[in-house]
């Protein structure tokens, strides 16, 4: 009996280990390959001439390349291709743009979500974000920089919210404000899972547009 129980525990341990390996390594390989394909797609967007600047966002489908996200706090050369969409099928390939949120540079709340574990762990260092950090997004329309004015500031539990708290990605991200409030500034909101190895809650960071260089 003891021998059978021991074998069962060993088997269970092996299954857990395989799951961890797949989460950290297997999904990371898939995401890396997807990022390469998305980068090629994004470069083609830049090379394609359009009559109207706003046309660069028209016709984007879920999963398409949206732009390049750069956050120096995560590393000097850290950058990820952002996809259109925030469903599981989208986020497995990289950070995702909330389709109903603003585009960079526009009045409103340009919002991005990404994983902290698995799939390349793009937001693994999310709690390290600090007020004053610059977040840059490059799209086929231009390069936009936002300065964070609300961030975890090194607290692993900082800016934790309920998983149903969608107010952070409203056009005017005010917890107690109306959903149809008219935005008066161009803002950015980043969201991710809390805790790192779970998803019972969310974390967020937000900031305001400080520069725009349109093509």
Span 129-170, pLDDT tens digits: 999 999 999 999 999 999 999 999 999 999 999 999 999 999
Residue 13 has pLDDT above 50, yes or no: no
Helices (H), 82-164: 88-91
**Which pLDDT score is estimated for 7?**
54
What percent of the chain is predicted at pLDDT more than 90? 76
**Mean pLDDT of the residues in the chain:** 89
Q: Is the pLDDT at 24 greater than 70, yes or no?
A: no
User: What are 5's two structure tokens?
Assistant: 């129980």
Full-model pTM:
0.87
27: its two tokens: 């999904």
193 pLDDT above the threshold of 50: yes
Give residue-wise pLDDT tens across range 161-188. Answer: 999 999 999 999 999 988 889 999 999 9
Residue 201 annotated in active site: no
- Confidence tier at 15 by pLDDT (50, 70, 90): very low
Q: Which residue has the higher pLDDT, 28 or 183?
A: 183
Phi, psi of 135 (to 5 degrees): -115, 125
* 115 counts as catalytic: yes
Q: One of 97, 115, 119, 201 is an active-site residue; which one?
A: 115
Give residue 26's pLDDT: 65
Backbone φ and ψ for 199, nearest 5 degrees, come out as -150, 35
The whole-number pLDDT of residue 213 equals: 96
Sorting pLDDT into bands at 50, 70 and 90, what band is 128? very high
The residue extents of the domains of the chain are: 2-214
CATH dotted code for 2-214: 2.40.260.10
The confidence score (pLDDT) of residue 180 equals 86
| Contact between 84 and 102 (Cβ < 8 Å) | no
Radius of gyration of the chain (CA): 19
The pLDDT-based confidence of 117 (bands split at 50, 70, 90) is very high
**Mean pLDDT (whole number) for 32-58:** 88
- Residue 17 vs residue 68, higher pLDDT: 68
CA 57/CA 45 separation, integer angstroms: 10
CA distance 85 to 100: 9
Residue 75 has pLDDT above 70, yes or no: yes
């Amino acid at each position: 009996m003891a021998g059978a129980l021991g074998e069962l525990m060993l088997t269970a341990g092996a299954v857990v280990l395989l799951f961890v390996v797949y989460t950290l390594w297997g999904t990371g390989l898939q995401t890396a390959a997807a990022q390469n394909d998305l980068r090629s797609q994004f470069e083609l967007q830049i090379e394609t001439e359009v009559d109207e600047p706003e046309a660069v966002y028209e016709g984007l489908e879920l999963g398409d390349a949206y732009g390049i996200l750069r956050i120096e706090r995560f590393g000097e050369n850290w950058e990820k291709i952002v996809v259109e969409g925030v469903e599981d099928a989208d986020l497995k390939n990289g950070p995702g743009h909330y389709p109903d949120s603003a585009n960079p540079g526009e009045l409103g709340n340009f919002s991005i979500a990404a994983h902290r574990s698995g799939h390349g762990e793009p937001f693994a260092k999310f709690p390290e974000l600090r007020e004053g950090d610059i977040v840059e997004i490059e799209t086929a329309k231009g390069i936009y920089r936002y300065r964070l004015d609300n961030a975890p500031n090194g607290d692993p539990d900082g800016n934790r919210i309920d998983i149903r708290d969608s107010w952070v990605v409203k056009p005017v991200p005010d917890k107690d404000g109306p959903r149809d409030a008219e935005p008066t500034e161009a803002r950015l909101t980043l969201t991710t899972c809390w805790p790192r190895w779970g998803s019972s809650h969310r974390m967020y960071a937000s900031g305001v547009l400080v520069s725009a260089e349109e093509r």
